[in-house]
């Protein structure tokens, strides 16, 4: 049995993500409404791996999701610029909620679209959470946020309520109006992520890592892959 304490992701300088500890690697794709609104995720397969494997970070590998050393030829600059401080220090609280406290760390957002639909969004719904149905809708939206940018607790100062997510890495596919595109690497289940210089990021239940090489908030995804379209 694999020792779960050995599970971690270590970023290589200007190179790939080195995955330690036999972490399950799967494929997940968005489920969208007839209007193109993201609704949920579905697992579409499992990818065979070894106990240690390397995942592409530059976006140029021909063996995705695995690294084929294309970062050398591409001259990839993978400098990590994302804030390593706890998300609690960056959170803002959305005002107006009743029966729920909604918090947002904008620096983690990768604009996945689960926090809104064609009729409304999290900002307009939170002040209406005195209505139980709206409160439940807000909770569901937050729990589907892949990056963990949005969190909630029931009471001020209370513990955040997190969805029970598997300990795995998901290679994601997003469904857009022009077709499917490659999304982020979605890390769930409190797997530690370590910078190339050895500095750890806060270990969180939900983390979205850049796999296109174009994020301005490396190693985190900021949605830059949508500007590139399908690769």
Please, what is the average pLDDT of the chain?
94
| pLDDT (tens digit per residue) in 85-138 | 999 999 999 989 899 999 999 999 999 999 999 999 999 999 999 999 999 999
DSSP H or E segment with residue 100: none
Tokens matching residue 24: 């399950």
- Whole-number Å distance between alpha carbons of 106 and 126: 16
Is pLDDT above 60 for 2?
no
pLDDT tens for residues 140-170? 999 999 999 999 999 988 999 999 999 999 9
Percent of the chain having pLDDT more than 90? 91
Residue whose pair of structure tokens reads 């791996």 in the numeric block: 49
The b-or-e profile of 182-204 (16+ CB within 10 A means b, else e) is: bbbbbbbbebbbbbbeeeebeeb
pTM for the model: 0.94
Q: Which pLDDT belongs to residue 208? A: 98
Residue that the structure tokens 């970062």 belong to: 71
Q: What is the pLDDT at residue 98? A: 93
Domain ranges of the chain: 4-81+167-228, 88-153
């Amino acid at each position: 049995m694999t020792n779960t304490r050995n599970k971690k992701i270590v970023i290589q300088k200007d190179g790939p993500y080195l995955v330690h500890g036999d972490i399950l690697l799967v494929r997940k794709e968005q489920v969208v409404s007839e209007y193109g609104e993201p609704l949920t995720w579905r697992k579409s397969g499992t990818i065979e791996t070894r106990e240690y494997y390397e995942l592409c970070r530059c976006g140029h590998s021909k063996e995705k999701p695995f690294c084929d050393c294309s970062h050398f030829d591409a001259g990839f600059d993978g400098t990590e610029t994302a804030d390593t401080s706890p998300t609690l220090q960056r959170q803002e609280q959305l005002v107006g909620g009743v029966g729920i406290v909604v918090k947002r760390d904008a620096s983690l957002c990768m604009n996945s679209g689960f926090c809104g639909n064609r009729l409304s969004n999290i900002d307009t719904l939170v002040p209406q959470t005195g209505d139980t149905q709206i409160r439940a809708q807000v909770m569901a939206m937050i729990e589907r946020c892949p990056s963990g940018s949005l969190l909630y607790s029931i009471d001020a100062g209370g513990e955040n309520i997190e969805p029970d997510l598997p300990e795995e890495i998901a290679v994601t596919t997003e469904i857009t109006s022009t077709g499917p595109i490659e999304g982020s690497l979605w890390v769930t289940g409190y797997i530690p992520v370590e910078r190339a210089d050895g500095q750890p990021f806060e270990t969180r239940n939900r983390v979205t890592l850049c796999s296109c090489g174009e994020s301005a908030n490396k190693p985190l995804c900021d949605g830059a892959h949508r500007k590139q379209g399908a690769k």
